[in-house]
Structures are given as C-alpha cells and as structure tokens.
Amino acid sequence: MLPGCPIRVTLIAFTLLMIVVIRPHTPPDLVEEVIREISLLGYTPNPIRGECQTVVAAIGDETTHASLESLNALAQVERVIRVQKRYKLASRQSHPETTVIDAGGVKIGGADFVLMAGPCSVESEEQLMVSARAVKAAGATVLRGGAYKPRTSPYEFQGLGPEGLRMLAAARAETGLRIITEVLGEHDVDLVAGTADILQIGARNAQNFRLLVACARSGKPVLLKRGMSMRIEEWLLAAEYLLAHGNPNVILCERGIRTFEDYTRNTLDLAAVAIAKQETHLPVIVDPSQGCGRADLVKVLCRGAAAVGADGLIIEVHPNPAEALSDGQQQLDPEAFATLVGELRPFVQAAGRSF
C-alpha cells in the first residue's frame, strides 16, 4: 500500500481500467515508452492501434499503485480516461438494496416521505418553539435549526452556539421531533452530536475532509449537502469518505448548484436526485429553500422533488421571515408551510410514498 493512504476497504474490487490516449502520429518508439511506463507503474497495458492514433487500455489496482493520471505529464499522452466510477461503498453495485436510516425512530429512505422543517437559525426559545409546534402540526417529523451558522461575512449573525443546541434539545423534549443541525468544525462534533439526531454538513464544508472524518466517527446519521460547485461524482466521493470511515448512515442532500442564473440563488438540480438514487443506495433529501433562495418558489420545487423520487425535504420555516436574522427571503411562515404540505400530498402519493 502507498504511504499516506490509510483507507483500505477489503472485499471491494479496486481493479481499474484506464484508457491512455496517445497523440495522433506519435512515432512508435514514443508509443512504446508509454506502454513501458504503464507496466512500470504496475498496470497491464493493452494497446489498440488505430490508423493514426493509439490508445492503451490499462488494467491494475489503484490502491497499491499510483494513479495513471500522472501519465498526462508525458508529452506524447493526449489524455488519460478513467473508466470506473471512483465510489465503491456508496454505489448500488456494492450494495443493491436501498438503505433506510433510522434517526431516533424516524426512518429515512423507506416508504415514508420525510419532512424536515424549521428556522434557518435558532434565534430564541420562543422563535424556535413556535416554529417547532407549527411544523409538527403540519406533518414534519424532524426539526431543523442552525445553532452554528456559516456566514459569508464575519459581521453577520453566527448563531447562538451551545445556547442554540440547548433550545433544540428543549424543543425535542416538548414536541418529540427529531433534531437536525449543522456542525461547522471538527471541535464541535462531540458537542453537536450530543444534541442532534442528525448531523448536517453544509455545502461550504462538503469537501472539508477532516470534518467528514470527524462526523463519520461520531456514529450519528449525517446529512451531506452537495457543495455549490460539486459534480455528482465528487459529492458521492464525499459520501464515500463518511462510509469508508465507518459510518453507514449517510443521507445525501441536493441543495442547488451555482450557475450564471441570477433569478434564483442556486439552480436546483433535480436530475441529480434521480441520478443519486440510481447510482447509490443512500437516501436523498432535497432542500428547496437553499435550492432557489426564494420563498415564492419553495412550494412548486417541493412538488418537483417528490416527483423525481426524493426521500424527503428540508424546508426553512420561520414565525416571521421578514425579521429573521438570516435568509428571511427564503423562509416560509407557518401558514404557508401548512398549505404547502397539504397540497404536496398527491404528488408524494403519485411517487408511491406517503407521509
């Protein structure tokens, strides 16, 4: 095994098939050089010679040898194409049955369509309680609320911290709702995991690999948001970090990607939900509030999410959005949320789920 490569998942095939494309009209001796280098790196080369261009298919094990992508450094190599998917534990191939996660009794990924709702930030005992009672009454089973807030500017409200966690615990005690809340840093994992039923890893931390490993070790279910500019493959590889470090309870969350469009804060990628359901065995939740950043679109995007096969939703609800300390523009008031849930039901049923 390579130095510095601590993870080795047994019982999984890491045998690779890579395609090394050699530039057209490369002289034969330089083609042979590439073939020799592939052997040297521990792979078996299979050259296919076209009229003016050769490609070499290489077979080997990437965990015991360096990746062939470094061959791009050779002038006569045009590109190196990886054939296999890089996620293993997350893939449906390795785990055909769908994973259902138990978060304090709430089943995620099964027949029930799960509603997670609550304020963007925990702002006060009263604000949280009003929200919690309202979302429960409307049908939610998980309460969201940020005690630690990742904010673009250091001068913005950063969350109430431990005090916020205490309020969340109190809300659970009263309502029975399960708690999901974001963890911002490795240092906080133990503290947050002491209260939360589900740890949330935010979009900005989706490739904070240290945080992924720390959350994996907590043993708690983890909801992993897709990073703003993450390709689906990278998102699933971030989930793979959680799985490979011993935590099987991973929930994926699509929350929009960054594009040039400016009528919405992000572009919600509902095809990614369908792909994640197909490629992996993990539950997939959609965050329409972050996904568009506009309260007026949340209702229809919830319908779209249910229709494409999401396992649930996480929705921002605040007693008085216009005075919210963060993201008021995308939070629903309790009444709008109740209407949304009522009108959502036929779409959830059409998708073969219930709530």
Q: Please give the residues from 306 up to 335 whose contact with its own copies meets the rule CB under 8 A.
A: 306-309, 321-325, 327-331
For residues 163, 164, 168, 174, the Cα torsion angle rounded to the nearest 10 degrees is: 60
Candidates 268, 284, 314, 317: give the one binding its own copies (CB under 8 A). Answer: 268
Q: Judged by CB, which is closer to its own copies: 98, or 175?
A: 98
The size of the interface with its own copies (CB under 8 A), counted in residues, is: 131
What span, in angstroms and rounded, lies between the C-alpha atoms of 92 and 87? 10
Please list every residue from 278 through 307 that binds its own copies, using CB under 8 A.
Answer: 278, 291-292, 294-297, 300-301, 303-307
149 binds its own copies (CB under 8 A): yes
Contact between 140 and 117 (Cβ < 8 Å) = yes
DSSP string across 87-121: -STTBTTT--SPP-EEETTEEESSSBPEEEEE-SB
262 binds its own copies (CB under 8 A): yes
Q: Judged by CB, which is closer to its own copies: 103, or 205?
A: 205
What span, in angstroms and rounded, lies between the C-alpha atoms of 198 and 53? 53
Stretch touching its own copies by CB under 8 A, among 55-63, 109-117, 132-140, 190-198: 55-63
Candidates 241, 250, 282, 313: give the one binding its own copies (CB under 8 A). Answer: 241
63 binds its own copies (CB under 8 A): yes
Candidates 75, 97, 105, 173: give the one binding its own copies (CB under 8 A). Answer: 75
251 binds its own copies (CB under 8 A): no
- Of 273, 229, 267, which is closest to residue 253 (Cα–Cα)? 273
105 binds its own copies (CB under 8 A): no
The distance of Cα 135 from the centroid of its chain, to the nearest Å, equals 24
What span, in angstroms and rounded, lies between the C-alpha atoms of 254 and 242? 17
Least distance to its own copies, CB of residue 170, Å: 17
Candidates 102, 174, 190, 231: give the one binding its own copies (CB under 8 A). Answer: 231
Q: Which residues contact 197 (CB under 8 A, 6 or more apart)?
A: 103, 104, 106, 142, 172, 178, 179, 180, 220, 221
272 binds its own copies (CB under 8 A): yes
Q: Judged by CB, which is closer to its own copies: 178, or 283?
A: 283
131 binds its own copies (CB under 8 A): no
**Bridge pairing between strands 54-61 and 44-49:** antiparallel
7 binds its own copies (CB under 8 A): yes
DSSP string across 120-189: SB---HHHHHHHHHHHHHHT-SEEE-BSS---SSTTS----THHHHHHHHHHHHHH--EEEEE--SGGGH
14 binds its own copies (CB under 8 A): yes
258 binds its own copies (CB under 8 A): yes
**Phi and psi (nearest 5°) for 43?**
-110, 160
Please list every residue from 156 through 215 that binds its own copies, using CB under 8 A.
Answer: 156-161, 184-188, 204-205, 207-211
11 binds its own copies (CB under 8 A): no
What span, in angstroms and rounded, lies between the C-alpha atoms of 316 and 55? 51
What span, in angstroms and rounded, lies between the C-alpha atoms of 316 and 321? 10
Candidates 35, 55, 100, 130: give the one binding its own copies (CB under 8 A). Answer: 55
Q: Judged by CB, which is closer to its own copies: 28, or 153?
A: 153
The distance of Cα 318 from the centroid of its chain, to the nearest Å, equals 24
Candidates 11, 73, 105, 173: give the one binding its own copies (CB under 8 A). Answer: 73
234 binds its own copies (CB under 8 A): yes
Candidates 26, 31, 62, 317: give the one binding its own copies (CB under 8 A). Answer: 62
